Structures are given as C-alpha cells and as structure tokens.
C-alpha cells in the first residue's frame, strides 16, 4: 500500500483512556489522512456484540475527531456508522489494541472483535487487534507497537473477493529488537473446557472468573502461534451457518 487511506475509524472495548487505543491511534495515523475515534466511556470487555436498546446512550465529543460513548463497542460502531459516516463509509475499521489476547473461544465474548464485526457486516474492511500480556504499562505493548503497522499493511494487500475481517494477536515480548518476529495465518483454537466461578457466603450470587482452558497443542491455531511467540492473523467469517450439515441435508433431500 503506497498511498494513505482517506478515513480510518478506530474503537476498542477497554475504554477511551486505554494505552492500547493510544498505540492504535499512532499506527492509524501512519495509514490514513484522517483518523476518527469512537470509544466506550468505560471498560466494556467481554460485552461481545451486545447493544443498548430502549435506553438513552449518552455521548460527547472531546476533540476534533474523538467521541466517547457511554455504551458498548457495538453501540460505538452504530453511532459512528449511522451518524458520523452516514454518507460515506470509512475505508477501514481498526479495533483495539486490546489489553490481553482474544484467541479461540474468547473471540465469541470479545468486545474488541465485536466492534470489527459490526464494520464487516456493513462490508467495511475491519481488523481486531489484541496484545497478549497488555496491561496499563506502555512497555507491555512493545510487540504491537513495533509490528502493528506492518501487519495491517500486509492484510490490506491480501487479494479478497469479500470484505476483509481479521483477528490479530501479538505475543508478549519485550526486546530491543522485534523486527524479526514472524507472523502466521491461523485458525481459531477450541480451548475452552469450563469457567471458574465463586459464590458469596449466602450462596445467592456468583462471580465468573477465568476461563478454564485445555492447552493441548493444536497445529496452526492462534493459541499455538502465540505460544511460539509469533503474531497470529486469523481470517474470520460472518456466516455462522453449518455448511457441512446443510450439504448433507440437501444431499439427503
């Protein structure tokens, strides 16, 4: 990609003050003439594609191209795409960079992926980006800072007859030289076997903790890729139909 895009829209699920969003803004500014941010007011992790209905969703503009929305990542995208970009779609949507990975079964819960999904269903190229080990310290995003621009450019070079919808995960590596970090095209791992839950003393409420995973090695998955300190690039599909079943059904009929 030799020329800059005109407009990029970015969002996330960690909130408008997150370090990952600042890292992504820096990358997006290298890719486009104009970058618009529409981000949740508060952390909206694990909200998936949830939307707020029959309630006022408050928003405000805090700078020229920066809005915050008191809602979910999908609320942010609905506001941006039906108001800010009502007449002309953005050239690209970037979501992230999430504090922590979004791999395998985690993708179905991810607000980061959901924001990209909302763009992809509207036929806008959309990429979700996550940093394994990312937290509230800027140095935990070293890998995504070093490789994010290059990875996005490489994805945009991929010839595709359909809208690009990708999920990218960066490994947690702190090193003075990250230029030689490799990337792989992967599939989603299927690692979940349960969840940690804890109950209150009255046994009237419970708290959901970490996902319980089965970390058995599986070839060419995003999980295995991260374990090898490589960048995982997973093409996602918007169609959740079970094509194998449909094929068998049609054959039987």
- C-alpha angle with apex 74: 194 to 87, nearest 5 degrees? 155
Per-chain mean pLDDT for the chain: 91
Distances (CA, A) of 221 to 207, 232, 242: 30, 8, 20
For residue 90, give the nearest of 70, 67, 116 by alpha carbon.
Answer: 116
pLDDT tier at 89 (50, 70, 90 boundaries)? Answer: very high
Q: What span, in angstroms and rounded, lies between the C-alpha atoms of 96 and 163?
A: 19
DSSP 65: T
Angle between helices 19-31 and 142-157 (to 10 degrees): 40
Distances (CA, A) of 146 to 139, 141, 186: 11, 9, 21
Pairing of strands 206-213, 192-199: antiparallel
Average pLDDT of the segment spanning 151-172: 94
Average pLDDT of the segment spanning 200-225: 81
Q: What span, in angstroms and rounded, lies between the C-alpha atoms of 45 and 99?
A: 9
5-189+217-252: CATH architecture: 3-Layer(aba) Sandwich (3.40)
pLDDT surpasses 90 at 186: yes
pLDDT tier at 253 (50, 70, 90 boundaries)? Answer: low
Give 26-79 pLDDT, tens digit per residue: 999 999 999 999 999 999 998 999 999 999 999 999 999 999 999 999 999 999
């Amino acid at each position: 990609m030799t020329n800059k895009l005109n407009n990029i829209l970015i969002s996330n699920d960690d909130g408008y003050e997150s370090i990952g969003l600042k890292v992504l803004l820096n990358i997006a500014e290298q890719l486009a003439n104009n970058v618009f941010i529409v981000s949740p007011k508060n952390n909206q992790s694990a909200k998936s594609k949830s939307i707020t209905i029959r309630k006022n969703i408050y928003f405000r503009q805090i700078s020229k191209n920066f809005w915050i929305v008191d809602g979910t990542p999908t609320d942010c995208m609905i506001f941006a795409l039906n108001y800010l970009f009502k007449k002309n779609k953005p050239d690209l949507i970037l979501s992230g960079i999430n504090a922590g990975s979004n791999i395998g079964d985690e993708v179905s819960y991810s607000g980061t992926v959901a924001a990209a999904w909302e763009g992809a269903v509207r036929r806008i190229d959309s990429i979700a980006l996550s940093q394994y080990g990312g937290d509230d310290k800027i140095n935990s995003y070293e890998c995504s800072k070093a490789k994010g621009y290059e990875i996005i450019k490489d994805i945009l070079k991929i010839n595709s007859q359909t809208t690009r919808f990708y999920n990218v995960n960066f490994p947690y590596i702190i090193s003075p030289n990250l230029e030689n970090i490799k990337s792989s095209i992967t599939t989603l791992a299927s690692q979940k076997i349960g969840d940690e839950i804890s109950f209150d003393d009255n046994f009237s409420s419970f708290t959901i903790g970490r996902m319980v995973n089965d970390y058995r090695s599986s070839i060419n998955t995003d999980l295995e890729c991260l374990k090898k300190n490589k960048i995982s690039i997973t093409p996602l599909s918007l169609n959740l139909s079970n094509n194998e079943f449909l094929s068998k059904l049609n054959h039987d009929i």
